[in-house]
Chain A
Amino acid sequence: MAPFQQRSPRCPSHRTSGVTPWPQRARRASVALLTLVSSVALSACSGDGGFSAAEPARGPGQFVGRTAPLNDTFGGGAGGDNTPRALGVGELADWRSCGAACQAHCASQTFANPLDEAMCPHLWGAGLDTRPINETEACRRMYVDLAGYFPTLFEIERSCLGRPADEVALRLISSDEFVRVNQLHWSDQLRYDNISVNFERIFDADELVGKTYRGLVRYDEFLEVMSAHPVLTRRFDNPGDRVEALFTLFLGRPPFDNERADMAKLYTLWNNHYVDHPQLGMRLPDAFIQHACVDERGNIDPNTQGQCTSLLWGYNQVILEPDFRANEGRTWSENLTEEEWRILQTPGRILSVRSEAWEHAVSDVLEQYLGYNLAFYAPSVLQPLVEYLFAHGGDIRSIHYVVATSQLYRQTTTCPDDVCGDDLNPPEWTFGPLKQVDSQVWLDTLERFGSTDIGNCDRRLPNTRDLAQAGVYGVDVLVSSEWTLNDEGRVDERYRDVARTLGGCPDNQVTTRFQAISILNTATQESFVAEMCNPGGSSENPVDAARILPESVAANRALDDTVAEEVVEYQVRTYFGRAATTDEREMARVGGAACVPQPCDAETFARVICYALLSSGEMLFY
């Protein structure tokens, strides 16, 4: 196991122990002096690099992380195709109970992938089978789920075809795109909102997620830090609500009343207010510790310490004794030491040793990839996956690897009616998962295909107005973020505007990311594609012909069957990441013949094909 990468807080780090009493006499004698010193220290700190617009992350995430990943590779992976048990005459497949014949069948199979093995009693052992997938479809799906965009056939050929699925999955999981996909996932889970939470803490949380998905932080460490991270505590007003958020986030259920009441005592110290930021000249929301359960001298008060003590999961106490950093009994979160953070993270340590937390982590990954809650139907799959996760040192990436290489995930979504049409209610794991693509994945992909640039949005700073008005440091923060500024120096909101209509770039104040199919969404998607492809040939919106035509076809070339097929083949390969089907070639010929004004040229036809393909369901579902 690699050691922690120890990092000191940028400002100030005075103590290493939260409950170790500050020497009383020294403190009493030095209060006035220390107050003066601390004021000087804090002001000096704030002016000499305590804040960096380019790297604004400040918070407890800075104290965790390794220099090398927990794992360079993972065990198991994709195995061979398993065979279903032959059912007796009149016997129906029963995936709910696995009898002797089922168990014997599963025992006779060879499994490389622990998810496949765990699913055998509900699948092959029950007499059911999976739907085999071709490499192209599998690769396209993996790119969307693991890298966050649709690949072209060229990319698929270069990176997937002829390569083992294990290798492809491992390479994608090791990529920056994978980290970003999961940073986006957690920004939704934690609902980053810089109106309610100091953006420096949000950046810190985002970096922590990044370290977790680079394999530098164990999942339990991640849970512990998040349990007392201001991105969680600052969003809620009272201890009970914080407990509820913690349970919902990491156990997948709200706490029972006794759990809520008891663990709330470990959140007694947390409070919310606003703090003046010296460089930005802004008043930012932030969390602070109100030193409760201590007497007027700052020592643990035996009469009130019960208000900060939990007994339901053993004896756990969260009390921090104030020192010179405390003003009016408050210590702001950015001034807490590593040891104090460790004490505050007690709720996370309580949860991280519960099997529920690990099972929920696994379940969450399964749902990310399969689009449904597999554990609801087959809860027995969770335990072996949790063991697999433990075997990989708590590296959550291992579960992503195992699911992405499983036969369960690597199934085709297609099936002819004469093969699948008779079974009206097959289990969802007997065919591939068809999911609606996230609006930002859709937008990013179309931007790649069209080579257009309409900016971006930054998950860590959903609200830009205050920073834009805060002066040079605020603008510096925006410039260093994923937002882009236009020629007038204002935030380019074009991408955000389209994405928010479609359900992306959420502000996270009250609304979160959503997926919908509605008249407005559909009209927006169609119009966005129409702008890219210009199917009607408007002179106001010319399209770069090189983007929609194969190299060998000139824009003004007369359209015939061969050219029409070439255009369709080229665009299907680029947009859908596969070769054109016979039906699509037929469509090319028929559509080409109908093209007007005659004689039609290649570009006129290509613009319409571009619209037909990019606005189709194949770009919306994968």
Chain B
Amino acid sequence: MTRRKPTSSKSTATEKAPFALSRRGFLKVGAAGLAASSVPSLFIPNRAIAQTGGRGTIKHLLYVRLSGGFRFPTAFNADVSGAYNPFGSASGVPSGVDWGVSNLLMRAGFLDANRTAAGMQPVHQLADRITVMPTVDHEPLAGYADGNHTTGLERYYTGYVNGSAGFFTRINLGLADRYATALSEGRVLLPPFVMGGAAMARGLGAFAPYRPPVLSGGSFDRFAASAAGAIPDWGRPMVTATDARMRDRQHLRQRDRVDAYVQSRAATEAYAQIFADPLLATDRASDTLVDGISNTELSMLFGTSSSARDIRLALRLFHFGCPAVYLDQGGYDYHSGEQDRLPGSMEALNQLTSALINVLPRMSHPDGGTYWDHTLVVYGSEFSRTARGDRFNSARGSDHNGDNSTRWMSMPFFGGPVPGGRMVGATTARDDLRAEGTVYSYRSVLNTLMDGLGCDPEVAFPADPVVPDLFG
């Protein structure tokens, strides 16, 4: 048995080499890559495949979790009663926008002179670039929502409770053939990166070899800094010899685990040049224009919060062929103080949204066009929130349980592959949030995104259909 080849080679055929590999590096990585790509698995026809019409149109996915359970109607499904969105709707929204734009998306205190001059706008004025699925649900057939932090997050990361693979592990496996092809052409493509909860990179059983790297809270500045003081050539034999001696001393049965480390060090050398590239040191000021924008300007536009740093780094990882980055943003588990604190938190999110919509169309992509053309940004969360029929709970916050208010995750999507301003899937009744139309599962959304990325259909969740009209 062999793994099934991708159904479309469009995306790989048009990719340029973002990073050429030296002959030595190619030989080292090539062996590991070919070994990984030859892992046998069983092909099972999957009815969730390639039904979107947008297959392969996403080259880069920025997948953001609004941490802690986000009260979606307060931002992306605002045309509901005050019990669900106590903050009201926005005014001045562009015409033709179908989804409910919240008053909180008007908050734009971040628009100082520099950012305004750069063209950044309040998010409500950009609503026609954003499409929303108002009623994404963990399990549409279940009787009630999963409002538990642990299991809700499990579903968010893996599609199921105790799922065997994180969403990003599926992406990594789904694109394995693309990496192998690139390697055979002497190019190194960065894998997907997880910058948040490591469960997004979970991989059990057949998924284990495809766990993507986790860079939780870190940055590549460390690599750039250490590269400046890297080991000189005359010292390398001592490094190699020290490891070799340690390995050779071990009992034969123990040697494999030390060997794994030695091989990892060799493979790391191939990536070291990318990791140490000053472009990835996004916390360091640099006016050098890459893809049409400098790290200094990115820093000015996005700011210096941890999420802003992650997004700036993600944009630079994309430059090296990375197909997807996951990150956590904010902390929205407002059981208390939501009334006072959510507006400020939304302003931080608004800045990120506004900056992304500003820079992606300005950044030229190595494959032609702009990053906006090839990139999709998606916000999600483990569940939504409820105040049990009131505007807020007794502590001026909101909780999460099994009701509709907790249930519907109103997920926004923006980027070239998804035409903006629309609502996709079921809408909600104003007074009781009753769904009207087709409710899609969260796994259907993930299948759709994997299809958009051009992943091997084998990695899709088998029982969940794609969302056919997300890509327009």
Contact = CB atoms under 8 A, between A and B. Distances in A.
Interface of A: 131, 193, 195-196, 235-237, 273-274, 276, 281-285, 413-415, 417, 420-421, 424, 426, 428, 431-432, 434, 436, 465-466, 469, 493, 496-498, 500-501, 503, 506-507, 509-511, 514, 516-524, 526-528, 530-531, 534-538, 540-541, 581, 583-584, 587, 590-591, 594-596, 608-609, 611-613, 615-618, 620-621
Interface SS majority for chain B:
helix
A588 to B, nearest CB: 9
A149 B275 CA distance: 30
Interface in B220-257: 222-223, 225-232, 234-235, 237-239, 241-243, 245-247, 249-254, 257
Contacts of B213: 518-521
Contacts of B254: 413, 431, 434
Contacts of B216: 497, 500-501
Interface string B139-177: 000000000111101100100000000000000000000
Contacts of B395: 274, 276, 283
A526 B265 contact: yes
Given A196-B149, A526-B265, A617-B258, A591 B229 contact: no
B335 interface: yes
Contact of B148 (A237, A284, A523, A594): A237
A366 B222 CA distance: 38
Contact of A237 (B151, B268, B333): B151
B264 interface: yes
A573 to B, nearest CB: 15
Contacts of A507: 197
A294 to B, nearest CB: 24
B399 interface: yes
A509 B229 contact: no
Contacts of B252: 415, 417, 420-421, 424
Nearest to B401: A273
B236 to A, nearest CB: 9
B199 interface: yes
Contact of B275 (A236, A523, A540): A523
Contacts of B150: 193, 196, 235-236, 509-510
Given A531-B226, A583-B245, A522 B199 contact: no
Nearest to B330: A465
B8 interface: no
Contacts of B225: 527, 531, 540-541
A23 to B, nearest CB: 32
B326 to A, nearest CB: 13
A420 B251 contact: yes
Nearest to A529: B226
B214 A501 contact: yes
- The 4 A-B pairs with the shortest beta carbon distances in the complex, nearest first, are A538-B229, A520-B213, A283-B335, A530-B226
Contacts of A420: 251-253
Given A509-B197, A530-B230, A414 B222 contact: no
Given A420-B251, A541-B225, A523 B271 contact: yes
B450 interface: no
Contacts of A522: 261, 264-265, 267-268
A506 B197 CA distance: 9
Contacts of B250: 413-415, 434
A517 B251 contact: no
Interface string B258-294: 1011101101100110010000000000000000000
Interface centre among A415, A541, A612 (most CB of B within 10 A): A612
A621 B235 CA distance: 22
Contacts of A283: 335-337, 393, 395, 397
29 contacts: A276-B394, A415-B250, A431-B254, A466-B331, A496-B217, A501-B218, A509-B153, A511-B197, A516-B211, A517-B261, A517-B264, A519-B213, A519-B268, A519-B271, A522-B261, A522-B264, A522-B268, A523-B272, A526-B265, A526-B268, A527-B225, A527-B226, A536-B229, A536-B230, A538-B228, A587-B238, A609-B238, A612-B235, A612-B242
Contacts of A517: 257, 260-261, 264
Contact of B335 (A274, A509, A591): A274
B257 A537 contact: no
A611 B68 CA distance: 41
Contacts, number: 217
A285 B335 CA distance: 9
A530 B231 contact: yes
Contacts of B267: 519, 522
A613 B240 CA distance: 10
A616 B242 contact: yes
Interface residues of B, number: 69
Contact of B218 (A131, A498, A583, A595): A498
Nearest to B258: A617
B231 A617 contact: no
B426 interface: no
B215 interface: yes
A417 B260 CA distance: 19
A496 B222 CA distance: 14
B198 interface: yes
Contacts of B264: 517-519, 521-522
A236 B336 CA distance: 22
A612 B258 contact: no
Contacts of B229: 530-531, 534-538, 540-541
Nearest to B333: A195
A506 B226 CA distance: 26
A193 B199 CA distance: 15
A534 to B, nearest CB: 4
A600 B3 CA distance: 55
A621 B258 contact: yes
A262 to B, nearest CB: 23
B241 A587 contact: yes
A426 B253 contact: yes
B336 A282 contact: yes
A274 B242 CA distance: 54
Given A274-B335, A523-B268, 18 more contacts: A282-B336, A283-B336, A283-B337, A432-B251, A497-B217, A511-B197, A511-B202, A519-B271, A523-B272, A524-B222, A527-B225, A530-B226, A537-B229, A538-B228, A583-B245, A590-B237, A612-B235, A621-B261
A515 to B, nearest CB: 10
A80 B272 CA distance: 50
B386 to A, nearest CB: 12
A493 B237 contact: no
A415 B251 contact: yes
B234 A493 contact: no
A398 B258 CA distance: 32
A617 B267 CA distance: 15
Nearest to B255: A434
Given A507-B197, A526-B268, A596 B234 contact: yes
A522 B267 CA distance: 9
A608 B241 CA distance: 13
A302 B223 CA distance: 68
A506 B196 CA distance: 11
Contact of B251 (A431, A500, A514): A431
Interface in B335-351: 335-337, 341
Contacts of A530: 226, 229-231
Contacts of B217: 493, 496-497, 500-501
Given A511-B199, A526-B226, A428 B253 contact: yes
Contacts of A596: 232, 234
A615 B239 contact: yes
A237 B215 CA distance: 31
A274 B338 CA distance: 14
Nearest to A513: B198
Nearest to B271: A519
A523 B197 contact: no
A493 to B, nearest CB: 6
A613 B151 CA distance: 43
A464 to B, nearest CB: 10
